[in-house]
Structure 1
């Protein structure tokens, strides 16, 4: 954790009405006159973490965090049976980011995201490139079918067969060829919802680090976290995140002129490095750092170090709040 800045607390926060009955939790910390940066959490549905404030020099950055629709402290929760998931899509989240930017009076901001947060970052920046000063991405994920198949149809299972068996265990045998569809049914049934959510979430928590980390696995098995993480993930991934196949790589040319730093674990089993490398090739001017002693998790030491290298470098760039 030496690569992180010291813990800090928000100096401002609130709930922003973004329409459709949703209010999004947001907070700001650091320097009120600093370079604006927004952090996009993963999952989808994982919610913000105090650790995410600590990637940035608080004397130089105005650091914005928010919980995406239905996650964390945003309301209503995605886990509530009455919550309308039809108004919780990638493009709703992109629109929410624009509302938040305008609400905070920010002209341009650095966009920072990992895993699903990298997906949302790319969708946002390709839609609103003039509102972005730089990007820092980690563990790149673009929701292409091959990426979903790797994670949920047996690719990663070749490396972690024991955890894959746990992932499949709640599914009836006839549903194991299509785990996404099977989990959608389990999560819709109050009798099976919690156990299914824990099994779904535990799979990613079990394979997220180069060296298995029981603390991460246990955190993913906590029912409150798992329910949001699983329901949001299945909802988004069964719809391909409302993206055309290959869209985010196809449209990476729109990022031309936006400085970018991609930090990618060489042994990331959740989001394999091939996707980050394809994005690097398609994004004019981006830099790619392949971390040779890391997997997917943001907490791995060399990953944290390289993320700080990126934010420390970009803090010197001209900014306009």
Structure 2
């Protein structure tokens, strides 16, 4: 299907790929992708770029003239990939751990290569946002011959960082972001404590029937890593109360933000992005600081086993989640030797204050991968690609071209 809207033309594609690429005759799944181009250039033979969304478990953006693609579309057509299990691809569904072993970055890369060859594209560029940058490193490890140039926004993973090492650095950053939030909105400290005490003393139900617990309320802190994160929580608290009960507006928004609606794959796969040769064993839960039990504290981009008991969307995945967390047989996602010898040009923006992807790990990786140029900035939070897309994309493309 072809659709033209202000600023771009979109064409839908569907591909059938093996669930397990090592067993091409076995079960298959559907992978959806949407091609976008400048309407004035839709018929031109433009080079291709594939967009690798963050997550894991996030569908590709739905096009509506976003500024963050505008500069890329001046010279390229872009394929917006709904990674397996997301969006219009075969959706995530309750299944065993053996099924979800095939949903990591290596499988996504092999889907990309299947699609690239099906479309007859000799090579293409990649744009990797957040987890999409992790996938980019796996792509460079497994199939660099398919790549012309790579652009990464806030997504250079630590090549051998374990989940424990990641969370050892993440928890202090969340604490710092929370402190910065209260410096900006000091009056919110009393509001947060009031809600925390209310949730501890009362059974509060969300619109879908889930109980809103204090620890689920704390996960709103995952917003703090975005450019508008403090404001989104501040204004949510501004309308939190209707008399002596929490308002319907507040409860509905909290349910939506914290309920993994449409993204159970994120909860299942998040810690597994750091699993190479060892079990994660619920790393975020094991490393959780005890002071997070106190009112007024927040957590960030962490997945906890209690979520699979307390969150309606995740309950059907509980057994699978525990099996995946206990699995110690994960293979490597990156090839350090091949990455060290990399010849594909890579331009990466590293956000100095990134709450989700540790800048220290990112710079260590940049030093270990050949042909990488980095732009280090504290001008943006983790969503710099969306917040100031034209500037960010233009800068990275100029870096690849050797113009800056």
* TM-score normalised to structure 1 length: 0.73
d(CA) in 2 for partners of 1:193, 1:112: 39
Cα gap change, 1:33/1:200 in structure 2, threshold over 3 Å: closer, same or farther?
Answer: farther
Partner in structure 2 of residue 43 of structure 1: 55
The answer (yes or no) to whether the contact 2:46–2:77 under 8 Å persists in 1 is: yes
Distance of 2:127 and 2:235 partners within structure 1 = 24
Whether 1:81 and 2:167 are equivalent positions in the alignment is no
CA RMSD between the two structures: 4.0
Could you say what secondary structure the match of 1:158 adopts? helix
Q: Closer, same or farther in 2 for the Cα pair 1:205/1:223, shift >3 Å? A: closer
- 1:227 is matched with 261
Q: Is the 8 A contact 1:198 1:222 kept in 2?
A: no
The unaligned stretches of length 5 or more in structure 1 are 1-5, 170-189
**Against the structure 1 CA distance between its residues 261 and 140, is the aligned structure 2 distance closer, same or farther, given a 3 Å change threshold?**
same
Determine the structure 2 residue equivalent to 1:131: 146
Match of 2:336 in 1: 250
Match in the other structure for 2:174: 157
Q: 2 CA distance for matches of 1:213 and 1:298? A: 16
Pairs within 5 Å for 1:153-302:
154-161=171-178, 202-209=220-227, 212-214=230-232, 222=256, 226-229=260-263, 231-244=264-277, 248=334, 250-251=336-337, 253-254=339-340, 256-299=342-385, 301=387
Work out whether residues 69 and 390 of structure 2, in 8 Å CA contact, stay in contact via their aligned partners in 1. no
Q: Which residue of 1 aligns with 2:83?
A: 68
**Counterpart secondary structure, 2:374:** strand
CA 60–113 in structure 1, closer or farther in 2 if over 3 Å, else same: same
Verify the 8 A CA contact 1:140 1:271 in the aligned structure 2: yes
Q: Alpha-carbon deviation of 1:268?
A: 1.0
Question: The residue matched to 1:73 in structure 2 has which SS?
Answer: coil
- 1:236 is displaced (CA, Å) by 2.0
CA 1:123–1:148: 2 relative to 1, 3 Å: farther
Q: Check 1:227–1:107 CA distance in 2 against 1; reply closer, same or farther (3 A cut).
A: same
Which residue of structure 2 lines up, in the alignment, with residue 22 of structure 1? Answer: 29
Contact 1:17–1:23 (CA<8 Å) still a contact in 2?
A: yes
CA contact (8 A) 1:129 1:255 kept: no
Shift of 1:126: 1.3
How big is the shift at 1:306?
Answer: 2.7
Distance in 1, matches of 2:69 and 2:254, equals 22
Question: What is the alpha-carbon distance in structure 1 between the residues aligned to residue 140 and residue 272 of structure 2?
Answer: 21
1:255–1:283 contact (8 Å) kept in structure 2: yes
Would the alpha carbon gap of residues 224 and 157 (structure 1) be closer, same or farther in structure 2, given more than 3 Å must change? Answer: closer
Give the TM-score of the pair, scaled to structure 2: 0.59
Give the Cα–Cα distance (whole angstroms) in 2 for the partners of residues 60 and 94 of structure 1. Answer: 24
Q: SS of 1:227's equivalent?
A: coil
Maintained 8 Å contact 2:347/2:373: yes
Q: CA deviation at 1:264?
A: 1.6
Q: How many residues align?
A: 284
Asked whether the equivalents of residues 385 and 392 of structure 2 are also in contact (C-alpha less than 8 Å), the reply is no
d(CA) in 2 for partners of 1:54 and 1:193?
40
Q: 1:101 aligns with which of 94, 100, 116?
A: 116
Q: Is 2:346–2:400's contact at 8 Å kept on the other side of the alignment? A: no
**Between 281-290 and 84-93, the greater mean CA deviation after superposition:** 84-93
Give the 3 Å change call, closer, same or farther, for CA 36–267 of structure 1 in structure 2: same
1:53 to partner: Cα distance: 6.7
**Is contact 2:216-2:258 (8 Å) kept?**
no
Partner Cα separation in structure 1 for residue 88 and residue 214 of structure 2 = 23
CA distance in 2, matches of 1:266, 1:305: 17
- In structure 2, the residue corresponding to 1:226 is in which secondary structure? coil
Quick one: structure 1 residues 119 and 198, their matched pair in 2 at CA, closer, same or farther if it must change by over 3 Å?
farther
SS at match of 1:262: strand
1:310 and 1:104 map into 2 onto residues whose CA distance is 26
Structure 2: runs of 5+ lacking an equivalent: 1-5, 20-27, 182-188, 197-207, 237-252, 279-331
